[in-house]
Chain A
């Protein structure tokens, strides 16, 4: 038996025994690569995800809503920060990771390439987008890679708070004036399908699922999570009197779950490829923040260096 095979077997044995893999442990290159790709995509989604909601900060309809939204968007920045740090434990610096985003090389969740057109979109995003994110992320709290799993514990707590806030916005609008209810229904119509596409391609088409399940980076398949999300969300919509925009949606008594209509995968792949309504704007906003902030980062390093030199000369 070659030493390499032995290491791989030991590694898999640890995973099978639910022992966490830590940064300094041996791991297969492909495991490391998969994690870097997945965690950095997640980090970028948090950071790009600040933009569509940030779009409504200056227009929030009450001081309380404004403060809550600002706190939410700030939480997303915090999530990005933990996740960039988790990527760093795998040997890729934050700067490299960010450069991969702004060069267009790295991906982020396509949902953020849709525009936020009305205030109700703040409700729909919290309720549906954060709701879908929780379905994806709760199992990640048990992911085999320690730093990722631990970051996700905190992320999930905050996400579930966001989901409730979003639902509460929708509930308020749905029980408000006719115009407000229409605003809420319109937001649900626009966000529903993109939200259920967030779980990714169907299991038959998903390239990464099998290996990731074996490595316990992933615990459920895309289709399982999507179904779980739909089953949880449909009654929530009914409760506040909104209609899910899917004429094929029907409770299947036999299976004990909802049947739903066909997903427009052409749209999904188009948005992934960069043709969504806001792909260009989102990337440009991140690129501008990065390039226009360069002088600030340079100044901070220059100042830190000067200070260190002054301190050293004092000691001398």
Chain B
């Protein structure tokens, strides 16, 4: 491998790790909004657990991204001092919580994807990424199970719960396609054999989702409809700016302090 190519790959890997971290952080931040407001105490606790796992994964990923960058930045620099256009998270993650059904559905659709992705990344030729993926996969397996069970419960529960979650399915669906559209960095890393081709994960993902929706008696949306995109390249929905303003305010207001 020549040095120029190596640098390209290193840059792509850094961007990719940031993309993974950003999605976990933004989703974790959304989950924080639920804490203390959940419909059932046990589920409030379960959501916080997922939030904690996502934050833990975020920290490992940012620490790794900082090493790849080699600019002696910290995990907090990456979380608190980057702007809207620099965040690479999936649009799915930044969508507002809606009702409990929307939240568990958003989680389910993401974790179904993560389950497939991490299962491959754990064998990545990049050892650090593989190690983070392997650890995260254990957590993701639980998140997937919890969220799938709730989608089924709400879909096959009462008329009201079914109509609520079906409405959420129809609204959120347009944000699911982005997971399977590789960014330039993902393409680079796939060619280098470091990460799987996300386009190939779509069929398996659809299969999982279809199965769970069938058990939940929910209708699958038209999968040929338009899919929103842009998160991976930093072109977000209007929600992200507000989230970052809130999340980053102390670090922005009092720069360079220890907390």
Contact between B258 and A172, CB atoms less than 8 A apart = yes
Given contacts A59-B249, A63-B62, A119-B250, contact A172 B259 (CB under 8 A): yes
Bound Cα distance from A249 to B236, whole angstroms = 55
Contact between B62 and A297, CB atoms less than 8 A apart = no
Interface-forming stretch among B9-17, B42-50, B166-174, B184-192?
Answer: B42-50
* A177 on interface, CB distance cutoff 8 Å: yes
Contact between B156 and A70, CB atoms less than 8 A apart = no
* B115 on interface, CB distance cutoff 8 Å: no
CB neighbours of B51 from chain A (8 A): 70
Q: CB-defined interface of A293-316 with B at 8 Å, one 1/0 digit per residue?
A: 111111110110010000000000
Contact between A292 and B254, CB atoms less than 8 A apart = no
Contact between B157 and A58, CB atoms less than 8 A apart = no
Q: How far is the CB of A185 from chain B (nearest CB, A)?
A: 16
Given contacts A59-B249, A63-B79, A66-B55, contact A298 B160 (CB under 8 A): yes
Q: CB-defined interface of B223-244 with A at 8 Å, one 1/0 digit per residue?
A: 0000000000000000000010
Closest residue of A by beta carbon distance from B58: A63
* A50 on interface, CB distance cutoff 8 Å: yes
Chain A interface mostly? helix
| Interface size classification for chain A | 35 or more
Contact between A303 and B55, CB atoms less than 8 A apart = no
* A34 on interface, CB distance cutoff 8 Å: no
Interface-forming stretch among B31-39, B106-114, B200-208?
Answer: B31-39
Contact between A67 and B52, CB atoms less than 8 A apart = yes
Interface-forming stretch among A24-32, A73-81, A228-236?
Answer: A73-81
CB within 8 Å of A: which of B49-105?
Answer: 49, 51-52, 55-56, 58-59, 62, 75-76, 79-80, 99-101
Closest residue of B by beta carbon distance from A78: B45
CB neighbours of B158 from chain A (8 A): 295, 298-299, 302
Closest residue of B by beta carbon distance from A180: B257
The one of B32, B156, B161 that contacts A296, using a Cβ cutoff of 8 Å: B161
Bound Cα distance from A60 to B55, whole angstroms = 12
CB neighbours of A111 from chain B (8 A): none
Given contacts A70-B52, A297-B40, contact A303 B32 (CB under 8 A): no
CB neighbours of A297 from chain B (8 A): 39-40
CB neighbours of A47 from chain B (8 A): 36, 41
Bound Cα distance from A176 to B255, whole angstroms = 12
Query: How many residues of B are in contact with the other chain, CB < 8 A?
Result: 50
Q: How far is the CB of A242 from chain B (nearest CB, A)?
A: 17
Contact between B251 and A61, CB atoms less than 8 A apart = yes
Contact between B41 and A81, CB atoms less than 8 A apart = yes
Contact between A285 and B36, CB atoms less than 8 A apart = yes
Q: CB-defined interface of A148-190 with B at 8 Å, one 1/0 digit per residue?
A: 0000000000000000000000001100110110000000000
Bound Cα distance from A65 to B251, whole angstroms = 12
Bound Cα distance from A65 to B59, whole angstroms = 12
The one of A54, A65, A67 that contacts B36, using a Cβ cutoff of 8 Å: A54
CB neighbours of A306 from chain B (8 A): 156
CB within 8 Å of B: which of A39-53?
Answer: 47, 50-51
Bound Cα distance from A285 to B44, whole angstroms = 14
The one of B48, B55, B243 that contacts A73, using a Cβ cutoff of 8 Å: B48
Contact between B29 and A70, CB atoms less than 8 A apart = no
Q: In the complex, how many residue pairs between chain A and chain B have their CB atoms under 8 Å apart?
A: 137
Given contacts A177-B254, A295-B161, A302-B157, contact A66 B32 (CB under 8 A): yes
Bound Cα distance from A286 to B59, whole angstroms = 32
Bound Cα distance from A65 to B75, whole angstroms = 12
Contact between B37 and A71, CB atoms less than 8 A apart = no
The one of A59, A62, A74, A176 that contacts B35, using a Cβ cutoff of 8 Å: A74
Bound Cα distance from A90 to B160, whole angstroms = 35
Contact between B36 and A292, CB atoms less than 8 A apart = no
The one of B32, B56, B154, B160 that contacts A57, using a Cβ cutoff of 8 Å: B32
Contact between A63 and B41, CB atoms less than 8 A apart = no
Contact between A58 and B160, CB atoms less than 8 A apart = no
CB neighbours of B154 from chain A (8 A): 296, 299, 303
Q: How far is the CB of A115 from chain B (nearest CB, A)?
A: 15
CB within 8 Å of A: which of B110-145?
Answer: none
Q: How far is the CB of B73 from chain A (nearest CB, A)?
A: 13
Closest residue of B by beta carbon distance from A66: B55
Q: How far is the CB of A69 from chain B (nearest CB, A)?
A: 9
Bound Cα distance from A67 to B251, whole angstroms = 16
Contact between B251 and A74, CB atoms less than 8 A apart = no
The one of A59, A74, A296 that contacts B100, using a Cβ cutoff of 8 Å: A296
* B214 on interface, CB distance cutoff 8 Å: no
* A64 on interface, CB distance cutoff 8 Å: yes
Contact between B59 and A63, CB atoms less than 8 A apart = yes
13 A-B pairs with CB atoms under 8 Å apart are A58-B29, A59-B246, A67-B56, A67-B59, A77-B36, A172-B258, A176-B259, A177-B257, A285-B36, A294-B39, A295-B158, A296-B101, A303-B154
Sort A-B residue pairs by CB-CB distance and give the 3 closest, nearest first: A293-B39, A299-B157, A299-B161
4 new A-B contacts at CB < 8 Å, known A74-B49, A119-B250, A172-B259: A58-B29, A295-B158, A295-B160, A303-B153
